[in-house]
Each structure stands twice: as C-alpha cells, then as structure tokens.
Structure 1
Amino acid sequence: MTTQPGTETAGRVIDVLLLFTDGPDELGVSQIARELGLSKAVVHRILQTLVARGMVALDQETRLYRLGPTAAALGARALRELDLRAVAADTLRRLHEQTRETVTLTALVPGGRAYIDQIVSTHEVKMTVDLGRRFPLHAGSSGKCILAFLPEERREQILTAGLTALTDSTRTDPDALRAELKEIRELGYASSQGERQADAGSVASPVFGLDGDVLGSVSVCGPRSRFTPQFVSSCAPGVVAAAREISAALGWTGDGPGTGASAAQASPHAPTEGSP
C-alpha cells in the first residue's frame, strides 16, 4: 500500500519529537537529520513548524532545539490522565517511607519503558530519574522485570535484536540475560548494579493489569554503595508487595510473581512494546 504524503509528513514530525525523549535535551538540525536519515532542509522545515506551535524551542545562541512549553503541557496532561500513576500514588509513598530511598514507577511504552513518577530519597546523597525519557528494557531492574513477563515471542525479538550497553555493567549476552529473566520470573523481582546508570543500584517488581498484562514496574533505587546484597534482600519483599498492591488496585487477581502461576510463564495477553 502506498503511503499518503500527509501520513509520511506526520510520521516524520513524530519521529523528530521522539528523538527528544530518547536522547540529549538539546539537538541540532544536523544531528536530527543524521539520526532520521532526512535532509537538513526537511528537518529545518519540521522544526520551524514545531517552534511556531510551541512544541520545541530554539536557543538563539547555541542554535540547538529543546522541547517547548506545548510539549510540556501535553506531557503533564498525559501523566494526569494515566491511571497507573494515580492508582500507585499512595503505595509509592508508603514504600518511600519504609526505605527512605528514591521510589519510582515505570510504564511499558512503545520501544521500551519510561519513568512516569518518582518520590526522591530523603538521604543527602540520592538518585533521581528523568520522567518521560524512554529506556530499553534490558538495562536496569525496572526494565528487566517488565521484559521477564512479556510473551516469549516478543521477549525473544528483543533479545535477538541486539542489546546495547548503556554502561560497562549492562548485560548484553542474550543467553546470560535469558537465564536472569527466568530467575526474575521465579523470584518476582529484579535487581541491578550499575546497568543503566553506572553508580546506581536498584530493585524492582512488575505491575500487572486487569487481564494479567505487564504494564510497568515499581522500583527502589539509589547510590550503588548503599545497594548491598543485604539491602536488596531486605528491600525486595516490600517492593514485591507494593507491586502486587498496585496490580490488585488495577483489577489483577492472579498469583503474585514468584508464587506459582505467574512465575511459570508470562500472561498470554501481555502487550508488546508497541502497546500503549
């Protein structure tokens, strides 16, 4: 089927905007053109349209573009309307009180996962995350525990597509990661030491929806030095309990990960990365 011109143009505009969710805060025309395989002239026209509507803003000194106020307003509205974030709020606060570390909520999004909420640690030295920025599923506990409960076919597509190293500790060997994902399904939680962010440690557990779909995850994260094996072991039950509580509030009635049915295999209804 031939792509209509209007559809192709809309796709290019969306691709330009998505670059700002995955990469640096500021991008130039040449970098965008290289990333998307477009001419500089096409990219410049798209950016001018986006600037006129407040979706991106141009720094006159650096000639670099960043997301604008209209994009921020759309993102804020999307967060307000996201049931997962609203349902999880009280549970996240309790988990934060228990651990005193930064608590995060992650959602499965097209092409990976994104943090949609956080409560920052009360410690002087703490970790924060970039809300709305997309990350791959194979790096870090929040992504791995989602990946573990995707349908096997989709999981294999991700494992065999090439696993990019975000740090020196990112696991990029598919066989090694398969073994770890199996363990995550049995335990009901994942842990990470410097896999997504070099100096960070974390422990996370998956969140499920009404039909058993894996929708996201809950994590506790902080400086790697504090996330000793002992702390992870003591923290994990609370993280798993929080994820189950949020899942139940979303209507999920299945067994908890690591307790039987859900550990045996991912839900056949679980969404692909392309699901909202």
Structure 2
Amino acid sequence: MPRSAPPTTPAAVPTADRVLQVLAVLAQQGKALSAAELMERTGLARSTLYRQLARLKRWGFVLESDGFYAPGPLSLQLALGFDLASHLVRQARPDMVDLAQQSQESVGLIVAVNDQAICLDMVESQHSLRCSFEKGRSVPLRAGASAKCVLAHLPEGVRSAVLDGLWGAGTPERQAAQQETDAIRKAGFATSAGEVDAGVWGCSVPLFGASRQSVGAITLMAPIVRASGQEEALIRMAVVAAARISRQLVLH
C-alpha cells in the first residue's frame, strides 16, 4: 500500500487559479471526492469551491454523482490529445517496449509537475505477477525511485524549493533529502524497494533533451522477489534504454 504523507496545509492559491486547483486535485486522486474532501485538500471555502465546481461542470471537466465529484468527459479528450501530441511519449515508447521485453518487467515514463511525479505512459510486463505505476497516477516527490529521480534532476532552484516545501527549510530531514538527491545525480539513477508500494523494486533513470535539461525519467519496476539478485543487470538495462531515448530526443 502507498505510504501516506504527513498532513499539510494547502498553500494559498491566486483567485484566478482556483478553478485549476480544484481540477488538479481531482485529477491526482484517482477517485471521486466529496465536497468536504475537496475543501480539505484545496483549503477553499465551501461557497468558493461550489463556484469553481459549477464552472467545471458547465464545461464538462467535472461530473457530479450523488454528491461526489470526478473528472468529466472533456478531461478524457484532453488526455487523448496529449497521447497524440506528446513528443516525449512518442520518442520514448519504442525503447520502453524493448526494455520491457528484454527485462520481462514493467516500464513507466515519469515526469515532475509541481511537487508530483506523474506517469505519462506505461508498458506492462507479461508476467501474471507484475508491478504497475498506472498511467495517470501521481505521487508526491518524496518517496520511491521515480519521484526521487525526477526530483534530483530538476533545475537547482526548483529542486531546492520543492525540498523546502516537502521537508521544511533547515530541518535535518531536508538536509538528508538534499544529500540523497545529490547522490542520485552523481550515480545517474535511483533505486528503491517497497517505498511506495509494498513488495515493489524500482530503478529510475533520467531522460535528457537537446538542452541537456532533464525532461523526465523511465522506471523499470519488478516484484522484489523477482528482482532480488538481478538488480545490477536490471539497472544496466534501464540505463542503456534511457541513453537511447535521450539520443532520440536530441536528434528529433
């Protein structure tokens, strides 16, 4: 089961951005939410929340059923448009498929958005027992190979702000997280075992575009029982696949 993060107070959001804040919270949860749950997660007053929900429902971005709210049909159209247009997904997909076939494990394409790691694409293992960071799923940038890898390769100022927000400026936890991200940048990959989902091992490797800035990461995921003793070989496979994808991104 995913580990729950400590409760945080929602940051103040400019008035013009509140409707987007509500939509982002709904998109990240993966389930329908009540008005009370949305108020808790957004920090918005009930009257303000209902105004934003009414706008989203009118445009088809949100559906309401028995007092619960979820992303609506227009959100699906946006997702389809993203699939068709995303340069990163198009360039990464062939090598992700090759890596999944070579390793016989699942491979995800991950990017950082604000303080979340989001799965853009997924190639599933053919094993009946397999690991899957579902397409569209997001987790905070605090635990797991995917989150730590994309966090470590954010621009320095952005990375520092995210670390401050997650752990608190000047705290021992913040210092330890900084040291861990520095080590990941030096190693060129991140690994984890059971940090987000119990029994899951993962290796995440950054992807770089033409500017040599990181544009995301690929993550090779396997049950710990199957990865045990094979970690070095799986890491090498992931590193080689990431290098191939990065070359394609530079060339195209």
Name structure 2 gaps, 5 residues minimum. 1-12
Name structure 1 gaps, 5 residues minimum. 1-6, 165-171, 253-276
Structure 2 partner of 1:25: 31
- Alpha carbons of structure 1 residues 191 and 45: separation in structure 2 relative to 1, 3 Å: same
Once the 2 structures are TM-superposed, how far is the Cα of residue 152 of structure 1 from its aligned partner?
A: 3.3
Once the 2 structures are TM-superposed, how far is the Cα of residue 137 of structure 1 from its aligned partner?
A: 2.4
Once the 2 structures are TM-superposed, how far is the Cα of residue 8 of structure 1 from its aligned partner?
A: 5.4
Structure 2 counterpart of 1:196, one-letter code: V
Say whether the 8 Å CA contact 1:47–1:56 is kept in structure 2.
Answer: yes
Structure 2 counterpart of 1:247, one-letter code: S
Q: In the TM superposition, what whole-angstrom CA distance separates every residue of 1:181-201 from its partner, at most 9, and x where no partner exists? A: 333223211101111223321
Structure 2 partner of 1:255: none
Aligned-partner Cα distance in 2 for 1:31–1:72: 23
Structure 2 counterpart of 1:43, one-letter code: L
TM-score (norm 2): 0.85
Q: In the TM superposition, what whole-angstrom CA distance separates every residue of 1:165-191 from its partner, at most 9, and x where no partner exists? A: xxxxxxx93333333333322321110
Structure 1 partner of 2:136: 132
Q: Report the RMSD for the aligned CA atoms in angstroms.
A: 2.2
Aligned-partner Cα distance in 2 for 1:59–1:216: 35
Structure 1 counterpart of 2:63, one-letter code: A
Structure 1 partner of 2:46: 40
Structure 2 partner of 1:247: 246
Aligned-partner Cα distance in 2 for 1:10–1:154: 23
Structure 1 partner of 2:124: 120
Aligned-partner Cα distance in 1 for 2:192–2:54: 42
Once the 2 structures are TM-superposed, how far is the Cα of residue 127 of structure 1 from its aligned partner?
A: 1.6
TM-score (norm 1): 0.78
Structure 2 partner of 1:108: 112
Structure 2 counterpart of 1:231, one-letter code: Q
Secondary structure of the corresponding residue to residue 222 of structure 1 = strand
Aligned-partner Cα distance in 2 for 1:45–1:233: 53
Aligned-partner Cα distance in 2 for 1:39–1:181: 37
Once the 2 structures are TM-superposed, how far is the Cα of residue 24 of structure 1 from its aligned partner?
A: 4.6
Secondary structure of the corresponding residue to residue 161 of structure 1 = helix
- Alpha carbons of structure 1 residues 38 and 137: separation in structure 2 relative to 1, 3 Å: closer
* Residue correspondence of structure 1 range 145-156 to structure 2 within 5 A: 145-156=149-160
Q: In the TM superposition, what whole-angstrom CA distance separates every residue of 1:61-90 from its partner, at most 9, and x where no partner exists? A: xx2111111111112212321100000111
Secondary structure of the corresponding residue to residue 201 of structure 1 = strand
The farther-off stretch of 203-212 and 32-41 is 32-41
Aligned-partner Cα distance in 2 for 1:103–1:179: 27
Say whether the 8 Å CA contact 2:142–2:166 is kept in structure 1.
Answer: no
Aligned length: 236
* Residue correspondence of structure 1 range 88-103 to structure 2 within 5 A: 88-103=92-107
